[in-house]
Amino acid sequence: MRLPLESISSVRNPRHTGENRCLPCTVVNLLIAALLATAIGSIATIAAGVVAFTAFVTVIVLRGYLVPGTPTLTREYLPAPVLSLFGKRSTDRSIGTAEIDWDTLAAAGLLENQGAERLRLRADVREQLYLEARRYRRSPPSDEEIAAMVDGDVRRLDDLAVTVDGSRRLRWPSVPALAADVAAADCISELVTDWKTLEAGDRRDLLERVRLLLERCPTCDGAIERTVERDEHCCQRPTTVVTAVCNECRAPIAERVVSDSKSELTENL
């Protein structure tokens, strides 16, 4: 005869319980359980509703959720602000809202293949960028240099953050990342078609892509290591996180998050 604890263990779903339990999914299912139990209680008896609610909660405790497909439901219908209340971070850590593809940089003649169809910045552009960035080894770019890059009036908040035109706030992950963007803007602005008319998000999107292709730190000259990791979310679509960090000074150079539908980023790096 099997012990009750063994029976309980056999039906428990470890993918959605314990440390893997998703709080938004649990809350949604408890609300559904309460609504169903209330309906049963109003149609039958209050006792039947209580029994039903107890059974529903037991299923949620053991299985993680009552309604099949709950992760998909919460992912599709719960807005990001609601998910953030439960500690679910946003997957949109990319700087801009636009998703300019690599063809824009390729059309400007800024890319070359590095074997196995891996992309890299053209050698002369890369070296020019490193040369420009050396100016910022002792101090970050000036307000005037940042203003020229973003094409707006800049007010400095600290070494890594500014406001543009009195409203839009921009922040970089490190001084080397900021230096790379300012240097890259100087190097590619004349090569990218319609650079001056690009929206702010599109321009920063291009600059971030350039940062992801750097091989050396713009300020300390250390080697940059790129990592690509798949980020699974119960309540959000799976994403791929691409990060670039200097191995010497440990400065974060770039971090970009793309959904699986935009896998071109990782396919080309």
pLDDT tens readout for residues 152-180: 898 988 889 999 888 888 899 999 999 99
Q: Report pLDDT for 43.
A: 92
Q: Using 50, 70 and 90 to split pLDDT, how confident is the model at 231?
A: low
For residue 252, pLDDT over 90 is answered with yes
Q: Are residues 115 and 242 in the same domain?
A: yes
pLDDT at 250: 93
Whether 31 is in a domain gets the answer yes
Tell me: do 192 and 226 sit in the same domain.
yes
For the chain, how many structural domains are there in total? Answer: 2
Q: Does 72 or 104 have the greater pLDDT score?
A: 104
Q: Where are the alpha helices (DSSP H) in the chain?
A: 4-11, 23-43, 46-63, 70-77, 80-85, 103-107, 123-133, 143-150, 175-188, 200-212, 264-268
Classify residue 93: in a domain, yes or no. Answer: no
- For residue 95, what pLDDT is reported? 31
- pLDDT tens digit sequence for 1-21: 444 544 444 556 666 666 667
Q: Is the pTM of this model over 0.75?
A: no
- 8 against 22, higher pLDDT: 22
Rounded to whole angstroms, the Cα distance separating 269 from 265 reads: 7
Indicate if the pLDDT at residue 203 is higher than 80: yes
Q: What is the mean pLDDT of residues 30-55?
A: 90
Q: Could you tell me the residue range of the domain that residue 25 belongs to?
A: 4-85
Nearest alpha carbon to residue 108 among 178, 182, 215, 185 = 185
Considering only residues 92 and 196, tell me which one the structure prediction assigns the higher pLDDT: 196
| Contact in structure between 229 and 241 (CB atoms under 8 Å) | yes
Q: Are residues 77 and 171 in the same domain?
A: no
Q: With 90 as the cut, is the pLDDT of residue 204 above it?
A: no
Q: Are residues 151 and 221 in the same domain?
A: yes
pLDDT at 262: 44
